[in-house]
């Protein structure tokens, strides 16, 4: 058996998330598995670096699969992309040894959440960004975002249906930058809870509207209660952009997204 790592870009609008579910429910994972199994002429299981909610996108979701089929790298790449639906694309593929695992070897995962802050809704970016038509205090939101950095109990920021055994996560960075009408939240952690990024963004949007002061975040953490954290932001503006692995795996370096999603490192 040979193991391959792949980098996947997808628009999540038509899918109920990354993870395969019951038959008839479209998912990114199941769509990839069907196409790769056809190329391999044998069943292929795809394992991703993380999960995404329905409607969430990715610019470089890392995954791996094992197969006994012998195909050239170009055959896998071109064969898959010529068969996959237009909203899913494999950007790269690399042979790996059995020590690599897309999920268990990932040391950190990174997301970006894009808000389009303008009285008029966007048309070309429909379902690609979250539209906030109301005024926002960006400076206040930028300061508030830093509150999430470090090691915290994120019980108040996870969905009731979250299946994680414990809610403590280490956030290595959480920063928000304004680009014209765009507000882009960039957050990286050792792991994420169900709806964690969307709940953080929902909290920041409420602060930006003047509904709460920045120290309200401390009260939410202390409550350890989902009801204390307010609204869950929509999935439209959320992107899985990167998974970090030990350097010896030497995975390809790729752009973190289209120009309107990028921000200074």
Q: What are phi and psi of 122, to 5 degrees?
A: -80, 150
Residue 186 is among the residues annotated as catalytic for this protein:
no
- 182-189 and 2-10 as β-strands: parallel, antiparallel, unpaired? unpaired
Per-residue tokens: 214: 């920045």
CB–CB of 50/82 below 8 Å?
no
- Active site residue: 53, 66, 218, 250, which one? 53
CB–CB of 160/232 below 8 Å?
no
- Active site residues per annotation: 53
């Amino acid at each position: 058996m040979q193991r391959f790592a792949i980098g996947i870009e997808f628009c999540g609008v038509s899918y109920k998330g990354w993870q395969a579910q019951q038959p008839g429910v479209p998912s990114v994972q199941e769509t990839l598995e069907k196409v790769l199994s056809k190329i391999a002429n044998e069943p292929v299981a795809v394992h991703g670096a993380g999960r995404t909610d329905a409607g969430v996108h990715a610019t470089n979701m890392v995954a791996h699969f094992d197969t006994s089929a012998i195909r050239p790298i170009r055959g896998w790449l071109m064969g898959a992309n010529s068969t996959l639906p237009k909203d899913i694309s494999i950007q790269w593929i690399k042979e790996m040894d059995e020590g690599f695992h897309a999920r268990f070897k990932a040391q950190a995962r990174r997301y970006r959440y894009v808000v389009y802050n303008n009285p008029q809704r966007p048309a070309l970016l429909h379902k690609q960004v979250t539209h906030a038509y109301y005024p926002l205090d960006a400076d206040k939101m930028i300061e508030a975002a830093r509150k999430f950095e470090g090691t915290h109990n994120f019980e108040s920021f996870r969905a009731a249906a979250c299946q994680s055994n414990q809610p403590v996560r280490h956030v290595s960075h959480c920063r928000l930058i304004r680009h014209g009408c765009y507000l882009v939240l960039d957050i990286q952690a050792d792991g994420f809870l169900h709806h964690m990024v969307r709940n953080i963004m929902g909290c920041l949007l409420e602060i930006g509207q003047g509904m709460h002061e920045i120290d309200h975040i401390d009260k939410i953490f202390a409550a350890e209660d989902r009801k204390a954290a307010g609204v869950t932001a929509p999935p439209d503006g959320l992107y899985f952009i990167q998974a970090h692995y030990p350097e010896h795996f030497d995975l390809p370096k790729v752009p973190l997204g289209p120009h309107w999603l990028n921000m200074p490192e």
